[in-house]
């Protein structure tokens, strides 16, 4: 007898400023509206496109709904996906560490949303995924993201000199990490 595949229930976090939930088909228009912003793009990897088109949104939602369930979350405000936060587990000897990445639509900045989301997802990495360490590498100019990580209990570990190229500039990245207590 064929055993049906076990359905994994999506994890959700209901926070005071937002809900972290799974990506869904139908999120595409809101995703394009908030992701298609140079002020977001300048702070994230080049795999995040600019301009951000409906076909980019479709590809992202296809990926997020088929892989990495409970590792990649939509940041939902009032029912709309207005940002993303996710964990990328390391491999081999780095497998108990994960990189955290996040972005938020500009109209929602400075309301404490990212700080709350980073705290929740880091707690999930430790308690559910069994991670020992969560880290982020922040571009040298991104003081807002450094502040988010500090507020979420991360410690500045050092600077990776000239370790990235963004917008045709060779820049430093500042590494922040939090380890499981
Ligand atoms: C970084 C980002 C996620 C922050 O989200 P957010 O919800 O606005 O963050 P919070 O409101 O939780 O905290 C922001 C903090 O930065 C501070 N801040 C904002 N602009 C700042 C600046 N130019 N210089 C210093 N601090 C700044 C805010 O005052 C706040 O700190 P406070 O609570 O001590 O006052 C958001 O700006 C974003 O999506 N940026 C583009 C993508 C990005 O940078 N992703 C992270 C890549 S590492």
In this predicted structure, what is the pLDDT of residue 1? 67
pLDDT-above-90 percentage for the chain:
91
In this predicted structure, what is the pLDDT of residue 59? 97
pLDDT bin (cut points 50, 70, 90) of residue 7 is low
Closest atom, ligand 1, to C-alpha of 136: 48
Nearest CA to ligand 1 atom 9: 114
Closest atom, ligand 1, to C-alpha of 118: 12
Model confidence pTM above 0.75:
yes
Is the shortest distance between the CB of 147 and ligand 1 below 6 Å? yes
SS3 94: helix
20-68 pLDDT, tens digit per residue, is 999 999 999 999 999 999 999 999 999 999 999 999 999 999 999 988 7
Q: Which fold has domain 13-179?
A: Aminopeptidase (3.40.630)
Q: How far is the CA of 6 from the centre of ligand 1 (A)?
A: 39
DSSP β-ladder status, 169-179 and 72-77: unpaired
pLDDT bin (cut points 50, 70, 90) of residue 3 is confident
Which residue bears the tokens 């979350």? 73
In this predicted structure, what is the pLDDT of residue 56? 98
Is the shortest distance between the CB of 149 and ligand 1 below 6 Å? no
Closest atom, ligand 1, to C-alpha of 110: 11
pLDDT at 9 over 90: no
| Mean confidence (pLDDT) of the chain | 96
How far are the Cα atoms of 34, 117, 133, 134 from residue 141, in angstroms, in the given order? 21, 21, 24, 21
Q: How far is the CA of 147 from the centre of ligand 1 (A)?
A: 6
């Amino acid at each position: 007898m064929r055993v049906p595949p076990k359905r994994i229930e999506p994890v959700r976090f209901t926070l005071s400023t937002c809900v972290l939930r799974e990506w869904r088909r139908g999120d595409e228009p809101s995703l394009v509206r908030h992701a298609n912003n140079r002020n977001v793009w300048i702070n994230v990897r080049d795999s995040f496109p600019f301009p951000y088109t409906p076909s980019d949104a479709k590809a992202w939602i296809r990926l997020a709904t088929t892989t990495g369930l409970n590792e990649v979350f939509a940041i939902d405000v009032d029912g709309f996906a207005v940002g993303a936060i996710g964990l990328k587990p390391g491999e081999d000897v780095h497998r108990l560490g994960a990189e955290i990445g996040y972005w938020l639509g500009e109209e929602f900045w400075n309301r404490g949303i990212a700080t709350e989301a980073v705290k929740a997802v880091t707690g999930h990495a430790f308690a559910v995924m069994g991670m020992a360490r969560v880290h982020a590498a922040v571009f040298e100019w991104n003081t807002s993201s450094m502040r988010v990580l500090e507020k979420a209990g991360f410690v500045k570990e050092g600077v990776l000199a000239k370790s990235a190229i963004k917008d045709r500039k060779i820049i430093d990245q500042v590494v922040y990490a939090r380890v499981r207590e």
